[in-house]
Amino acid sequence: MTELPEMGGRLPPLEGQTKMVVLDETGEVMPSRDFANRLSRWRDDGVREARFMIGGADGFDTAARDKADLLLSFGRATWPHLLARAMLAEQLWRATSILANHPYHREG
60 within some domain:
yes
92 within some domain:
yes
75 within some domain:
yes
Query: Phi then psi for 80, rounded to 5 degrees?
Result: -60, 150
**Mean pLDDT, rounded, for 54-74:** 89
104 within some domain:
no
pLDDT computed for residue 77 by the predictor? 85
pTM for this predicted structure: 0.82
- Which of 13-17, 29-33, 79-83 has the weakest average pLDDT? 13-17
Sheet architecture: strand order including 18-29: 49-54, 18-29, 70-73
Please tell me the total count of domains within the chain: 1
Nearest to 40 by CA among 3, 94, 83, 82: 94
64 within some domain:
yes
54 within some domain:
yes
pLDDT computed for residue 103 by the predictor? 78
12 within some domain:
yes
DSSP-derived secondary structure letter, 47: -
54 C-beta neighbours (distance < 10 Å), count: 18
Partners of residue 2 on adjacent β-strands: 11
Mean pLDDT of the chain: 86
**Looking at residue 33, which CATH number applies to its domain?**
3.40.1280.10
108 within some domain:
no
Domain hosting 39: range is 2-99
